[in-house]
Amino acid sequence: MMRTRPLKVALLGCGVVGSEVARIMTTHADDLAARIGAPVELAGVAVRRTGKAREGIDPALVTTDATALVKRGDIDVVVEVIGGIEPARTLITAAFEHGASVVSANKALLAQDGAALHAAAGEHGKDLYYEAAVAGAIPLIRPLRESLAGDKVNRVLGIVNGTTNFILDKMDSTGAGYQEALDEATALGYAEADPTADVEGFDAAAKAAILAGIAFHTRVRLDDVYREGMTEVTAADFRSAKEMGCTIKLLAICERSKDGTSVTARVHPAMIPLSHPLASVRGAYNAVFVESDAAGQLMFYGPGAGGSPTASAVLGDLVAVCRNRLNGSTGPGESAYADLIVSPMGEVVTRYHISLDVADKPGVLAQVATVFAEHGVSIDTVRQQGKDGEASLVVVTHRASDASLSGTVEALRKLDTVRGVASIMRVEGE
């Protein structure tokens, strides 16, 4: 039997995502009510400025006083899609204190202060859901913390930023340079006017922190995530990748150590074999590859950004939170019981592709090989091309730690025969 009194929802933010959430709540009201067991009512919408026409939203619901809205006391669920750290953090905390559960899409805040927000939700017996914070419409957080709750996740490897994937895919498929591909992404609306958060890996790093925390039952903050942007990736890097049967992706990688005592989380461009499922992810799409003991290898794929896809994830959380509200229960909270060590990047072990500019004369290869050996880095393959006294030397290593590779490169730079290090890129997915 359906309850007739509606569950009241406060919406913080009415931009691309917020307006789509409001639209779906209105147009799908009967279906949402049937799925929840009670109608849901949009009780207020907090925005920065009033006066702008917002299609489908009663102007009487619009307010610039977000604090008063979340403190009303009759609000059941607060949907936060304004982003940023403040005032979002204060508003979410106030929502818990005044009896509301929260659905958020705020990756930056959750990556920085997720533990404190979970603690506040638990203290007041409320829900904190955030499926939309990581991969848009792709169901990922719920499978990790519920469907795989009985399994042991060892690795999460993913493309979690559509802007960067579009740029790299364009460079791969057309031979375009970075700036040319970025300009096209901007013209098509895939990149912001200031793309720094995307291309420098800040967006993906926040998502990696959230994913690592859930996957490994350990608190991983944004500061724990190694971050390297993709602005230095060149057309020459793609040519080298193709010669190896690879492409290049900006990856978020979260791994459990082999002995199970530590985890790492990192974001950086990497070569990945064309045979790997992530290599076929094109355009602005996202995909995340999960490896676990019992389930084996799983891949989650779909649109990772945009108003409708993100709103889909928000509404999925809204339905779940409203059901919990009716049942007088809460869903899963933070799981950090494992409390594993978060290791620094220097301890990460992977393969490397190093391109060197060297003098074209006898003995150069031997000198370079000696440096690698002295630092305990084993060479897999070497390719050398020379002309008119100058040459390029491409070295692909076996697996080595980031610290040992850094020492190797520093020593290589001191050789008289090495003119410069053209590029260094990790090789993942093997």
Catalytic residues: 207
Contacts of 20 by beta carbon, 8 Å cutoff, 6+ apart: 307, 308, 310, 311
CA dist 161 to 133, 169, 178, 250, Å? 12, 12, 16, 8
Q: Contact, 293 vs 260, CB < 8 A?
A: no
Residue type at 35? R
Residue type at 187? A
Q: Where on the phi/psi map is residue 189: left (φ > 0), alpha (ψ -120 to 50), or beta?
A: left
- Asked if omega into 344 is within 30° of 0 (cis), the reply is no
Residue 109: closest CA among 82, 127, 142: 82
Q: Where on the phi/psi map is residue 41: left (φ > 0), alpha (ψ -120 to 50), or beta?
A: beta
Q: Contact, 145 vs 335, CB < 8 A?
A: yes
Strand partners, 269: 250
DSSP letter string, 144-184 = IIIITTTS-EEEEEEE--HHHHHHHHHHHHH---HHHHHHH
Count Cα neighbours of 117 within 13 Å in the Cβ-side half-sphere: 27
